[in-house]
Amino acid sequence: MKTGTWYVCGFVVAFIYFYVYAVNYVRGEPALSGYNPGVPPWPTSGQEPRAQSRIQQAIHPKLSWQYHNYTSMTTFLRHVSTIYSNLTALYSIGQSVQGRELWVMVVSRSPYEHMIGKPNVKYVANMHGNEAVGRELMLHFILDLVQNYETDYYVRWLLDNTRIHIMPSMNPDGFEVASEGTCQGGQGRYNSRGFDLNRNFPDYFKQNNKRSQPETEAVKEWIGKIQFVLSGNIHGGAMVASYPFDNTPNSIFSSVVSAPSLTPDDDVFKHLAATYSLNHGRMYLGEPCKVGAPKFENGTTNGAAWYPLTGAMQDYNYIWHGCMEITLELSCCKYPPAAELTKFWEDNRISLLQFVGEAHKGVKGFVKDDSGISIEGASMKVKGRDVGFQTTKEGEFWRILLPGIYTMEVFAEGFQPREVQFAVIEQNPTLLNITLYGDNTNRVDLQVQPSNIDEEEQPLEEEEEEDQGSTIFGLPNPLTSIQNSMRSILNKIPVFG
C-alpha cells in the first residue's frame, strides 16, 4: 500500500477516535468505555473508581452539617442544579402560603424528562416544619447521589434506571419559625395558617372537612401529573417506619383502642417498611422514644395501630394514585442540635438508597392496542387487591409485588377487559406486555418475562413471543420463561452486602 494511503487511513482512524472521545466527554461519560449500566458491577477489592468529569473535579458544592433556612437551601439547590446539570433538574410545584417555593430536585441520568421504562420515586420531607432532620438529610442525599455517581456503582445504577424526585421541605413557612433544640411541641409544625398538612388530604374512610391548603393542593397536583411508583414521607418525633392505612373505618372505637387497619397490599407495605428499618443504624431495634411505650417490632408499625388519623398523605397517595408511600420517622427529637446530624446521616444513608431500589421489584410493562399504540389511562388491578392504578400516556405501568403468582386485571374503554396471569421472582421485575383488542376481536396477545434488558434512555421494546410448551388458562405459562432466565437474572440488580 502506498505511503499516502497509510497517511489517509491513519488520519481517518484518529479522527474517529477523537470524535467519539469528544462526544462522550460532552455526555459526561468515559471515553470509549464498554460499561453497561444495565448490569452494574459491584466494586471488588482494589478496584479503582472511575475519574470524575473535569467540572466536577474543579467545583464541588459544599454543604455544612447545620440547618439551612429557606434562602440557604434555595442557593444550595440552584448551585447543585447548575454544576450537575447532567444529573439534576430543579423545579417548583407551587408556593407556600407566604410565597416560598416548594422546591423539588430530580436526580437521574435523565433529569429533564420522563424516559420510557424508568419509574419515578419521591421523598418528601419537612411536612411538619419543626421536624427538621429529614430536611437536612434530603439536601445531603442530593449531594451524595450526584457526587458518587461516578464512583459508587449502586448509586450509578439507581440514577441510570430511576428518576428520584426529592422535596426537602413541604412546609418552608413552618421551618422558618421553628427553633433548633426543641424536641417536642414548639412553633413550626403547622403551615402559616395553622393547618396540619398531614391532616389535610382527602380521606378514604371519613369526610375531611378541613380547608385544603396551598401546600396540599400543590402536592396533589404534582402527584396527579407524575405517576409515582414509590414514596417516602419523612417526619420526626419517633424512630419507626409506618405504613398504611393511617386511618380506620372503626371510628367509634379508634379513640379508645388502636387496631391495625390493613391495606390489600399489606405484605408489600410491611416489606417496604422493613427494608428501610432493617438497613437503618438503629430503627430496626424498635425502641420507643417515650418511656413505657411498647416496642415497634422490627422498627415498623401499621399507622392506625400506632394512632389513627384522618387526612394523611400516605393514604392519599395509595388510594387516589396507586403510589406506595410509607412514613419514615427518623428522630426522637423533632429538631435536635445540628451536631447530631452526621449521626443521623450515617444511620439513614443505606436505607435511603435501598428503599429507592424497591421500585424495581414486582411487575412492569406496557398496555397497547393491536396496532401497537399505547393505551393511556387503562385501569389495572392485581386480582384480590382492590386498590388499582393506571397506565401512563405511554401505556407504562409498574406495581411493586413480592414473589408469587398473580393475575392482572386490565380495563380500558372501548376494549375487552383482560385477565393475565404472571409470576414475580426475586431481584428483577417481571416484564408484562399486554395487547388489548376491541369489542369485535377475540384475540389476546400476552408477553411475560423477567426483565433482562438494559434500561437505557429509550423505550423498552416488546420481545417476540416464544413457544413455552405449556399454558395456564389457555395462555402461555409465565413460569417457563422465568425458569429459563433465572441464571441471567440473579446478578442483575446490585445489593448491599
Catalytic residues: 329
Residue 9, classed as helix, strand or coil, is: helix
Largest pairwise CA distance in the chain: 96
Judge residue 447's burial from the number of C-beta atoms within 10 Å of its C-beta, 0-12 exposed, 13-18 middle, 19 or more buried: buried
Euclidean distance between CA atoms 28 and 349, whole angstroms = 25
Euclidean distance between CA atoms 295 and 288, whole angstroms = 5
Among 399, 158, 379, which Cα is nearest to 267's? 399
Torsion of CA 354, 160, 455, 51, to 10 degrees: -120
Burial 226-260 (b: 16+ CB within 10 A, else e): bbbbbbbbbbbbbbbbbbbbbbbeeeeebeeebee
Euclidean distance between CA atoms 66 and 342, whole angstroms = 9
Q: How many CB atoms lie within 10 A of CB 164?
A: 25
Residue 194, classed as helix, strand or coil, is: coil
Euclidean distance between CA atoms 72 and 64, whole angstroms = 11
Distances (CA, A) of 266 to 279, 310, 401: 20, 19, 10
CB 430 within 8 A of CB 400: no
Distances (CA, A) of 229 to 117, 118, 353, 358, 390: 12, 10, 15, 10, 11
Query: What is the secondary structure of 198-224 as a DSSP string?
Result: GG-S--SSS---SPPPHHHHHHHHHHH
Among 68, 118, 147, which Cα is nearest to 398's? 118
- CA angle centred on 278, ends 274 and 282, rounded to 5°: 125
Euclidean distance between CA atoms 161 and 145, whole angstroms = 13
Q: How many CB atoms lie within 10 A of CB 295?
A: 12
Contacts of 45 by beta carbon, 8 Å cutoff, 6+ apart: none
Torsion of CA 416, 417, 421, 422, to 10 degrees: 90
